Chains A and B, each alone.
Chain A
Amino acid sequence: MTRDVFVGDFAYALGDQRESLGSAARRGLLASPEDAMKHGGFEQHYYCSSAASAYDLALQAARALRLRGSDIDALIYATCIPENGSRCDRKAFASSGDVRDLMQFPASHLQAEMNISGPVFGLDQQACTGMLGALRLARSLILSEPEFTRILCVTADRFPEGARYEQAYNLISDGAAACVVSEQPADFRILACHHVTNGAQVSASDEETLGSYFAQTCATIQACLNKAGLGIDDIDWIVPQNTHRDAWRVLCSLLGFPFEKVCLDTLSEVGHVISADNVINLTCLLERGLPEPGQRVLLPMAGYGSNWQCVALARSGS
Chain B
Amino acid sequence: MNRVLVTGADGYLGSRIVASCLADHRDVIAWIHARNPVELEHRSHALKECLGGDLECAGGDLLDPDAFSTIDPLGISAIVHAAAVTRFDVDRRAARRVNVAGTSAAAALAQRCPRLERFVFLGSAFAAGLLEGSIEEGPLAPDGFANNYEWSKWKSEQVLQEDHAELPWTVLRAATVIADDESGACGQLNVVHDTLRLLYQGLLSVIPGEPSVPVCLVTADMVAQAAVRLLEGPFVGRFVNACAPVESCPTLDTLLTVAMDSFQACPEFRRRRIQRPPFCRRDAFELLVQGLRRHGGSLSEQVAGSLAPFAPQLFLRKQFIARRVSMLTGRAFPDMAALLSRLCERMLATGACGNRAGVRTIA
Contact = CB atoms under 8 A, between A and B. Distances in A.
Interface of A: 32-33, 35-36, 39-40, 169, 198, 200-201, 206-208, 210-216, 218-219, 244, 246-247, 249-250, 253-254
Contact of B205 (A169, A211, A219): A211
Nearest to B293: A36
B291 A215 contact: no
Given A200-B272, A214-B205, A254 B280 contact: yes
**3 shortest interchain CB distances as A-B pairs:** A36-B294, A215-B275, A253-B284
Interface of B: 198, 201-206, 271-278, 280-281, 283-285, 287-288, 290-291, 294-299
B275 A249 contact: no
B278 A254 contact: yes
A237 B105 CA distance: 61
Given A33-B294, A33-B296, A253 B205 contact: no
B275 A216 contact: yes
B283 A253 contact: yes
B273 A211 contact: no
A214 B295 contact: no
A247 B294 CA distance: 13
A290 B14 CA distance: 65
Contacts of B203: 207-208, 210-211
Contacts of A36: 291, 294-296
Contacts of A246: 287-288, 290-291
B278 A200 contact: no
Nearest to B292: A210
Contact of B277 (A198, A208, A215): A215
A284 B348 CA distance: 49
A246 B291 CA distance: 8
B287 A210 contact: no
A223 to B, nearest CB: 12
A2 B55 CA distance: 82
B72 to A, nearest CB: 53
Contacts of B204: 211
B273 A198 contact: yes
A32 B205 contact: no
A214 B278 CA distance: 8
A174 to B, nearest CB: 23
A212 B284 CA distance: 16
B284 A254 contact: yes
Contacts of B272: 198, 200-201
A207 B297 contact: yes
A269 to B, nearest CB: 21
A198 B294 CA distance: 28
Nearest to A306: B273
Given A36-B296, A250-B206, A250-B288, 4 more contacts: A211-B203, A211-B204, A211-B299, A215-B206
A214 B277 contact: yes
A317 B222 CA distance: 69
A282 B206 CA distance: 29
Contacts of B287: 246, 249-250
Contacts of A35: 294
A211 B201 contact: yes
B205 A213 contact: yes
Most chain-A CB neighbours within 10 Å: which of B280, B285, B295, B297? B295
Contact of A169 (B277, B284, B285, B295): B295
B275 A207 contact: no
Contacts of B202: 201, 208, 211-212
Nearest to B275: A215
A219 B275 contact: yes
Contacts of A200: 271-273
Contacts of B285: 250
12 contacts: A36-B294, A36-B296, A198-B273, A200-B273, A201-B272, A211-B205, A218-B278, A246-B291, A249-B287, A250-B288, A254-B280, A254-B284
